[in-house]
Structure 1
Amino acid sequence: MIMKDRARPGIEKVCDAGLRRLWPDNPVAGKLEERRKQAEAGFGGEERVDSVLAEYRHPGPIRIIPDVGLVCGSRFQLDVLVLTQSWACLLEVKNISGRSVIKDIPPQLVRITKDGREEALGSPFAQLDSNLMLFRDWLHERNTPIPVYGAVVFAYPSQMVEAAAATHPILFPNRIPFFLRNLPGRPLLDEHDLNELTRQVLVSHEPFVQRPLCTMYPQVTERTVRTGVMCTACGEFGMRWRDRAWHCSCSCSCISRSAHVKAIQDWFHIFSGGMTNEECRRFLEVEDRHAARRMMKSAGLIEKGKADGKPIINHDFGALREGALF
């Protein structure tokens, strides 16, 4: 039984905003295209694992929780958490193109592309070790004495994987049912205890809050970002605000009352902190401060105070990432 939906990675929206707003010759734009592809591939691999688990039938009660963020001393993220009356199991999911070589010393995964380039990534074994330790501590704090197992899952059998010393099982999705079915253990929880543990996980879950673009790439500043409102029909910049609506200056002649919402969303994906009325006017290219204030309020932003006589409008970035502006 899958207990919650998997959220799309917030980095996708950040990359999309950056690709819309940065000029094509900006070197950061190329990096964002690659990060966007990696995030999409990773999410696709996780969905592949979810689909296999959705069809799996365990001999006893089973609870499957994708994409779990928990805190025990520090925050940790689990790709998939599987709970039964006998054990818990963490699945660390990878979808990496090319050939993957997992090394022990130092712990890393080396990705070798088709053209022979090498790229060093974090070791999935080290990540799984950390998650196992933290989740065991999390269970200990709740007096839940069940063993915790783990495995690294490569999402597609076409992926080539080498590991000199595999400290954890390496699986492809079609082997997950066999792996879970053969985990040792006797029932330590009754079904009520299992449901309560599942409830505690879901209540404790803290969605990952993606950092805005400027904190990832300090070279992204207001000077390097395109201002203006993008047409909701033709995708060109240059909509103008008049007669309480946005009018496209291109041949499509689109008229919209809410085109500013997407632009304000772009702002919060790119820049950190709140948005002042002056910043809103500059970014949307409008002159009327009262119109700008109405636009910010209509986009779901909350007025937090005054600074130099101008309203300061803040928005919780986590909520924004989840699509609260739509």
Structure 2
Amino acid sequence: MIMKDRASPGIRKVCDAGLRRLRPGHPVAGKLEERRKQAEAGFGGEERVDGVLAEYRHPGPIRVFADLGLVCGSRFQLDALLLTRSWACLLEVKNISGRSVIRDIPPQLVRITKDGREEALGSPFAQLDSHLMLFRDWLHERNTPIPVYGAVVFAYPSQMVEAAAAPHPILFPNNIPLFLRNLPEHPLLDEHELDGLARQVLAAHSPYVQRPLCTMYPQVSRSDIRTGVICPDCGEMGMRWHDRAWHCRCGCISRSAHIGALHDWFHIFGGELTNEECRRFLGVEDRHAAKRLMKSAGLEVSGSGRWTTYRLKL
């Protein structure tokens, strides 16, 4: 049973907003293109694993969680968590192009590209060990004495992986069902207790808050960001607000085009939006119109009067 689906990565939204809004030729644009490709690849690999888990049928009840954020002393993010009456299992998912060489001293993964370049990344085994330790502590705090297992999953069988020593199993998605079936089955929880634990996991989930563009890249200034509402039909910047709708030179009329622009603002700048800043970014003169536009976008409101601010709902 799927208890929690995977959300689209926030970094992808930040990159998209930046690529739409940065002035042409800005040096950060190339970095955003690369980060977006990496996020897309990682998300695609995780979705491939999600597909296998959605079709998997365990002999007993099983609860599956994707993209789970928990806190136990420090925050940790699990790609996939599976719970049964007998065990918990963490899957650390990787989608890395080129050849991956996992070393234990020092613990790192070295990615070797087709042209022979090497790039050092964090060891998936070290990351999994950290998550196993933290999740065991999380269970201990809740007096739930079930064993916790783990595996590193490379999303595509075409990926080339080398490991001198493998303290945890290395799997491809089609290996996951057999791996799960071979885990020891000694029920320690009844189904009612399993469901209670699943509810605790969902209640404890803490969504990851993606940093906005301007904190990721301090060299991006407000003057680097193009303002205005983008036409949903032709893609041109600078729709005009009148007669309670957005109008573009191409003839497009929209009542909701500002919503995407406001989301761009939060992905780029973060924090709280004022009425004045909203008017400046959207190109609206009337403060009452700006207030209605922010309200229609479903933003959270705090304060009152001249001290009113708006935030993007998580």
Is the pair's TM-score, using the shorter chain for normalization, greater than 0.5?
yes
Amino acid at match of 1:22: L
Partner of 2:103: 103
* SS of corresponding position for 1:60: coil
Aligned position for 1:203: 203
The residue number in structure 1 matching 2:84 is: 84
Q: Give the structure 2 partner of residue 186 of structure 1.
A: 186
Q: Distance in 1 between matches of 2:109 and 2:79?
A: 18
Residue of structure 1 in register with 2:290 after alignment: 292
Give SS of 2:2's match.
coil
Provide the rounded CA distance (Å) in 2 between the counterparts of 1:201 and 1:23: 43
Does the C-alpha gap of structure 1 residues 214 and 151 become closer, same or farther in structure 2, counting only changes over 3 Å? same
Distance 2:21 2:257 in 1: 15
Partner of 2:118: 118
Rounded to whole Å, the distance in 2 between the matches of 1:195 and 1:311 is 45
User: Deviations for 1:96-124, whole angstroms, at most 9, x for unmatched residues?
Assistant: 11111112122221111212222222111
Question: Counterpart of 1:199 in structure 2: which amino acid?
Answer: R
Distance 1:210 1:13 in 2: 9
Matches of 1:2 and 1:182 in 2, distance apart?
Answer: 21
Gaps of 5+ in 2: none
Q: Which of 167-176 and 54-63 deviates more?
A: 54-63
- For 1:290-309, what per-residue CA distance to the aligned partner results, in whole angstroms no more than 9, with x for missing partners? 22222222222344336xx8
Paired position in structure 2 for 1:229:
229
TM-score of the pair, normalised by structure 2: 0.95
State the SS of the aligned residue for 1:253.
coil
Aligned counterpart, 1:256: 254
Name the CA distance, whole Å, in 1 between partners of 2:301 and 2:172: 50
Can you list the C-alpha shifts for 1:71-99, whole angstroms capped at 9, x where unaligned?
11111111111111111110000111111
Distance 2:255 2:50 in 1: 39
The number of residue pairs the alignment matches comes to: 314
SS of the residue corresponding to residue 162 of structure 2 reads strand
Q: Which residue of 2 aligns with 1:281?
A: 279
Query: C-alpha distance in 2, partners of 1:99/1:23?
Result: 36
Q: Which runs of structure 2 are paired with 1:128-143 in the superposition (5 Å)? A: 128-143=128-143
CA distance in 1, matches of 2:218, 2:308: 23
Report the CA distance shift for 1:286/1:206 in structure 2 as closer, same or farther (over 3 A): same
1:322 maps to what in 2? none
Q: CA deviation at 1:57?
A: 2.1
Moved more, 288-297 or 73-82: 288-297
Q: Percent identity?
A: 80
Q: Distance in 1 between matches of 2:91 and 2:66?
A: 9
CA RMSD of aligned residues (A): 1.6
SS in 1 for 2:3: coil
* Alpha-carbon distance in structure 2 between the residues aligned to 1:304 and 1:197: 35
Task: Report the residue type matching 1:118 in the other structure.
Answer: E
TM normalised by structure 1 equals: 0.92
Residues 274 and 312, structure 1, Cα contact 8 Å, conserved in 2:
no
Indicate the residue corresponding to 1:304 in structure 2: 302
Give the distance between the partners of 1:36 and 1:305, measured in 2 at CA.
35
